[in-house]
Structure 1
């Protein structure tokens, strides 16, 4: 099911973003007809990923509203462990979830959501349980030791699971119905039979 009829997926971008974590999701959502737009601290002001790639955001976080979006993706970043600079992004995630628009967070972004209180009563995962516990959050009993977890409108994953993360995003948005299993087997397990299924 698509949020509010929108076909725009918003990808948060900020300094120290972990490049490898969202590529499967964004590339394959674009192939499924979604428009991917980047959202940064300020429109037109470049951010630099862990790899040193410069990205110029399409719009500023302050200008993003849930009504304009099918999904907000929060990649991990070292900045989540260095202070509160990215708190505006987790506050925006709260606004999305309150509006019934899905949010997908991976790696360090899960710690940001934990600090925001968004994992206190939702099933979730992350890098490891003690990483999230270090935030002081109250949701430890809801931690699931899994590649990726989807609880209603919230999707979480650890840093080594970009393929499982994408699979749960596709499931929430209803993308690749009937082919998600083949897609996952191809990219997670290099199953050659899955290629024919996916492209059949």
Structure 2
């Protein structure tokens, strides 16, 4: 079974990973686990989450790292930086949204990738960000083993991640995302009743 680790910091944005985590976790081929720099975090919506892993105790083999945005990505934890760096070095599929993309920019992880984020101008003082020419004004961008998205793009983010990991056929992913975007009745009108 493949494993996705969702990296959640305190004050994480509940909505940014909801579509992706629930899709993956309902699959017989994927399992979803959570990881952070501490054992418990609280989301922006007030949900308290007891993490499956504190960084350093995670399994060495996993298939997908999902970095969910929020208000705490100014984190200067050496363990967090080492963990993210190791994921890049191992070639693990990495997906980052909102504030998590800011973190990647600040630490130089975006320099070899086409990418997007909340606002490239907010990164101009980042010493290790040297890739403004690779910034694309899109909701979400997939390049190599990396997906980036701004904080208003949880659906686009989900779709690109599912595509990158070959979660299902492109047609089935498109149908799934259509229902999430436009609702059940519009889905039925276009594709027929799935039940």
Q: Which has the higher contact order (CA 8 A, sep 6+)?
A: 1
- In the alignment, what sits opposite 1:102? 93
Offset of residue 185 of structure 1: 1.9
Q: How many residues align?
A: 190
> 150-159 vs 183-192, which deviates more?
183-192
Match of 1:17 among 12, 20, 23: 12
Residues 130-169 of structure 1: matches in 2 within 5 Å? 130-136=121-127, 137-169=129-161
Using the alignment, how far apart are the partners of 1:132 and 1:158 within structure 2? 14
SS of 1:179's equivalent?
helix
Alignment RMSD (CA, Å): 2.1
CA distance in 2, matches of 1:189, 1:13: 28
Select the structure that is richer in helix: 1
Could you give the per-residue CA deviations for residues 115-169 of structure 1, whole angstroms, max 9, x where no partner exists?
Answer: 1111112100011222333434111110011111111111100000001101011
CA contact (8 A) 1:182 1:198 kept: no
Task: Give runs of aligned pairs for residues 3-152 of structure 1, distance below 5 A.
Answer: 7-33=2-28, 34-42=30-38, 45-65=39-59, 67-81=60-74, 83-85=75-77, 88-136=79-127, 137-152=129-144
In the alignment, the residues of structure 2 paired with residue 193 and residue 50 of structure 1 have an alpha-carbon distance, to the nearest angstrom, of 31
Greater displacement, 163-172 / 128-137: 128-137
Give structure 1 stretches of 5+ with no counterpart.
1-5
The equivalent residue for 2:181 is: 188
Deviation at 1:78, TM superposition (A): 0.8
After TM superposition, the score normalised by the length of structure 2 is 0.88
TM-score norm. by structure 1 comes to: 0.86
List alignment gaps of at least 5 residues for structure 2: none
Distance in 1, Cα, partners of 2:193 & 2:178: 10
